Amino acid sequence: MSGDLRSAVAAGVLGAEEDYRALLQSVVEVARAIFRAEASSVFMLDEETDELVFAAVTGQGAETLIGQRFPSSTGIAGWVLVTRQPLVLEDVGKDPRFGREAAESTGFVPKSLMAVPLLHGEAAVGVLEVLDRASHERFTLAEMELLGLFANQAAIALDLLRRARQAHAALDTSGEAGALSRLATALERDDLDEDVRAPILAILAALEELL
């Protein structure tokens, strides 16, 4: 876990999981409003279990879907994740990639959708979807490009959320996590004297060896 801890400390992500969840939620809420959709959601890839997990939802199912998961190759979201290609479908029921069983298990079976992969560097970390226009207008390719901009923000939040969880798994006591978070924050200060910075770096290096 030392590599995960070092990465998390360098990014200052310890103790901030709720902030990243709030950012993800704002992404889906704004996307839903912009595209006048019935619902929007972000799926997060859990690499350990190879599953997609509902990380943020707005619209139908928002109260019950967070945390639900299914195999990463399932349905439209699975196809977008694996291929890293965006997709617009006006009639999902006619597409062989559509996972009807998985959709029915959520209580919401869409008629149309746009889906884009969430990419962090070379890695696909999740999928962003908007589902069913309230006005029944068709989604356009130009709108899919706009959705890609939302996906960039969601990918950043997902990566930070993932690293925050890894860091907390490495440090299972809140006191240690809080102390490391404060050290990481101190390192980011522009006015930090080098005589102070060096000891902090030495402490983090020693903790890395222990962990």
pLDDT single digits (tens) 104-135: 877 778 888 999 999 988 889 899 999 998 76
- Helix (H) or strand (E) segment spanning residue 39: strand 37-46
Say how many residues make up the chain: 211
For the stretch 127-173, pLDDT in tens is: 999 999 876 677 887 888 888 888 887 888 777 777 766 666 655 54
Residue 148, phi then psi, degrees to nearest 5: -60, -30
pLDDT band at 174 (very low <50, low <70, confident <90, very high): very low
- Rounded to two decimals, the pTM is 0.70
Nearest to 166 by CA among 109, 211, 104, 118: 211
Q: State how far the Cα of 39 lies from the Cα of 114, in Å rounded to an integer.
A: 11
Across the beta sheet with 51-59, the strand order is: 69-71, 51-59, 37-46, 123-133, 113-120, 87-89
3-state secondary structure of 110: coil
**Range of weakest confidence among 6-15, 42-51, 61-70:** 6-15
pLDDT attached to residue 204: 60
Q: Decide if 117 contacts 127 (C-beta within 8 A).
A: yes
| Greatest extent of the chain over all pairs of C-alpha atoms, in Å | 65
Residue 33: closest CA among 59, 55, 56:
59
Mean pLDDT of the chain: 77
> What domains sit in the chain, N to C, each tagged with a CATH number?
16-169 (3.30.450.40), 170-210 (no CATH)
Q: Residue 131: name the closest of 180, 60, 186 by CA.
A: 60
First to last CA, the chain: 7
pLDDT 10s digits, 55-64: 999 997 787 8
